[in-house]
Chains A and B, each alone.
Chain A
């Protein structure tokens, strides 16, 4: 697992993907930070964290599109799958590498918080809740992206599928709202990633939301392992 992790982290920074992802994230977060906190002269950063969620829908697929698909296309999966490592180890290594790059991106919000703190008193608990929420939210998307990437050999197709899936998972509550049937609406709202995340942006640290995102990660990584396994048996 650690070998795969190191190799993936290295790959993010020898190819442009890691830099593009970080640059885009830094740019948009700075933009939202300026337009919300700075221009309004507010120490409340919730609006910025809410806006970042939209950006992730587009950026996470870029981060994860090549994780599994490229190995399949270039046949490098032959060296991973015939090495004495478990499939779970391979997938976990790739996930943690993407998560590390993502964490580097999220870390910039700490700097913004410090800037705001220079002007006035801030509510650190709310900000920490927000950061943890953003990390969990993105982490679950990374797992979804890796799963989507394992379905295809093409990076572009992987990115498109991930984008659609992540968007759909976000607006599950809206889809549910359109349905005339109340129980379905309730279930879809509970499963909506967006609804789960907004809790964090209000500064509410709800353990059920944390568990929701962690189980989403575990579930999608497990699906990815199953896809790899299935490909061997096909």
Chain B
């Protein structure tokens, strides 16, 4: 459905997007993961024809976005980073305007009503967009992308600015839409991409760092090899005992609260030390108050992914 070949965007010497390629098939939810300034929005802007590419190709359903923009754009619903809303219109006027703008053929009233029901904006339908909260504006933005029922949805950070309940609602909605649309969404939150997407592309500084299915990537990324544990007991002794467990590479104190220390325990990859840890702490009579696998920050992910690539490269040589 979407095919991107070697897409680049240069601003002078700055390479905002530097030769990325990927494909998204029908009914697939593809996630772009990357920090701010990684090139996520630039890529999406190129896919939707808002800006042109410096090099490479973007095909939407086989149609090049630069060669036949009008035909290609007909198949795309786009929610940019900042929803493109006219503040002086009501939701109703705005959606009707979008309906006309997209030269939509579906029955107007029922189609718009369906969309409003889907993103839950029925009760603000007659209000001015200016007076809506950020969360509602985001939803109107999503509604705008859905008008005309385009087969491809491109959503740039769709959950930004929403409260936790709304985030879950929108994620569920995206998952549902993913069944009969091709969805590309971007995010800088790993857990969000993991929760929603079938396939994840990690980009940093305009390049693809990793391109994998959700499960393969999350195994690679999280694994059980870094744990955060809250253990009550004498710090030095605990550290010593933890380090004594087979497979533990590193153990350091990270936090302290009410005399209980939190430790970050790193074990060699592929070894699960949780049982041994429990055994050894229980034997000493030091209760484990909390044990969880450490969440990786985006920096950790990039470090890991890029280092992983390097070590592979070295192995090849």
Contact = CB atoms under 8 A, between A and B. Distances in A.
Contact of B84 (A14, A76, A232): A76
B158 to A, nearest CB: 15
Given A11-B86, A75-B82, A75-B84, A81 B52 contact: no
A85 interface: yes
B103 interface: yes
Contacts, number: 72
Interface in B101-124: 101-103
A105 B86 CA distance: 26
Interface stretch (B68-76, B217-225, B248-256, B298-306): B68-76
B97 A84 contact: no
Contacts of B50: 78, 81-82, 232
Given A15-B88, A82-B50, A6 B100 contact: yes
A79 B80 CA distance: 8
Nearest to B88: A14
B138 interface: no
Contacts of B103: 84-85
Interface string B1-34: 0000000000100000000000000000000000
A3 B86 contact: no
A74 B144 contact: no
B289 interface: no
A79 B87 CA distance: 13
B88 A77 contact: no
A76 B85 contact: yes
Given A2-B100, A84-B73, A78 B78 contact: yes
A72 to B, nearest CB: 11
A191 B105 CA distance: 46
A24 to B, nearest CB: 21
B98 A79 contact: yes
Bin chain A's interface residue count. Answer: 20 to 34
Contact of A3 (B69, B88, B101, B144): B101
A10 B76 contact: no
Contacts of A233: 51-52
Contacts of A84: 69-71, 73-74, 102-103
A226 to B, nearest CB: 14
Interface string A52-71: 00000000000000000000
B51 to A, nearest CB: 5
Nearest to A14: B88
Nearest to B71: A84
Given A3-B97, A82-B76, A85-B101, A77 B84 contact: yes
Interface in B41-78: 45, 48-52, 69-71, 73-74, 76, 78
A79 B82 contact: no
Interface in A71-105: 74-86
The 7 closest A-B pairs by CB, nearest first: A3-B100, A79-B84, A3-B101, A84-B73, A82-B48, A78-B84, A84-B74
21 contacts: A3-B97, A4-B101, A6-B100, A11-B86, A11-B88, A15-B88, A74-B87, A76-B85, A76-B86, A78-B78, A78-B84, A79-B84, A81-B49, A83-B73, A83-B101, A84-B70, A84-B73, A85-B70, A232-B50, A232-B51, A234-B11
Given A77-B84, A81-B49, 18 more contacts: A2-B100, A3-B97, A6-B100, A7-B86, A7-B97, A10-B89, A74-B85, A79-B80, A79-B101, A82-B49, A83-B73, A83-B98, A84-B73, A85-B70, A85-B103, A232-B52, A233-B51, A234-B11
